[in-house]
């Protein structure tokens, strides 16, 4: 199967926060942001897979700064690792106040997408080739994040999560697993 570079899945998506996107405090509703992140992540995953993808999981999404009415949201998404039939996508969300231009990271998260065919059967995805040091670090640490997702979903026993166990056991303050 063909290999693909991480940079080829890079997506930048912009949205303007309008009144319909906000709560009574004129802050962007979290659900709307998650929706936009899901779209950007899916586009990135589809660019890598050359297939339709479905969302399999969303890692922790912390809301670091409220995003106000009129702000411009920039969502950057890029595949960090490809597994057998799934890919992990890293998303970074920037909020920029207009006018004035104050720009801050409001959110970061990892989403997992599964590639499917026209009959909704899973299909193998191309391998990912990381090039930059950042891409290599995200690629390497993706195994640990994947094991955490699988343990939390009840699809992998902690005793079988070798990467996760090695991290937890290397910390002397953590009980051995």
Per-residue pLDDT of the chain (177 residues; tens, 9 = 90+): 789 999 999 999 999 999 999 999 999 999 999 999 999 999 999 999 999 999 999 998 888 889 999 999 999 999 999 999 999 999 999 999 877 778 999 999 999 999 999 999 999 999 999 999 999 999 999 998 998 888 888 877 877 777 766 766 666 554 444
What SS3 state is found at 10? coil
How much is the pTM?
Answer: 0.88
Q: What is the pLDDT of residue 173?
A: 57
In a domain, 111, yes or no: yes
Domain housing 21: 3-129
How many domains would you assign to the chain?
1
Q: Is residue 173 part of a domain?
A: no
CATH number of the domain that residue 33 is part of: 3.10.129.10
Tell me the C-alpha distance between 89 and 53, whole Å: 12
Q: Which residues contact 18 (CB under 8 A, 6 or more apart)?
A: 69
């Amino acid at each position: 199967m063909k290999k693909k570079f991480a940079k080829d899945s890079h997506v930048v998506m912009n949205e303007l926060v309008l009144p319909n996107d906000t709560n009574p405090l004129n802050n962007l509703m979290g659900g709307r942001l998650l929706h936009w992140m899901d779209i950007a992540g899916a586009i990135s995953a589809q660019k890598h897979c050359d297939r339709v993808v479905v969302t399999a999981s969303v890692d922790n999404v912390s809301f670091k700064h409220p995003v106000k009415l009129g702000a411009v949201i920039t969502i950057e998404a890029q595949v960090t690792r490809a597994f057998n039939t799934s890919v992990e996508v890293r998303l970074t969300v920037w909020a920029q106040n207009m006018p004035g231009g104050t720009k801050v990271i409001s959110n970061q998260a990892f989403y997992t997408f599964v590639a499917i065919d026209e009959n909704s059967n899973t299909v193998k995805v191309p391998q990912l080739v990381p090039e930059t040091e950042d891409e290599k670090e995200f690629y390497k640490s993706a195994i640990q994040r994947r094991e955490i997702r699988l343990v939390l979903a009840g699809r992998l026993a902690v005793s079988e999560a070798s990467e996760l166990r090695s991290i937890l056991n290397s910390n002397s303050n953590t009980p051995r697993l």
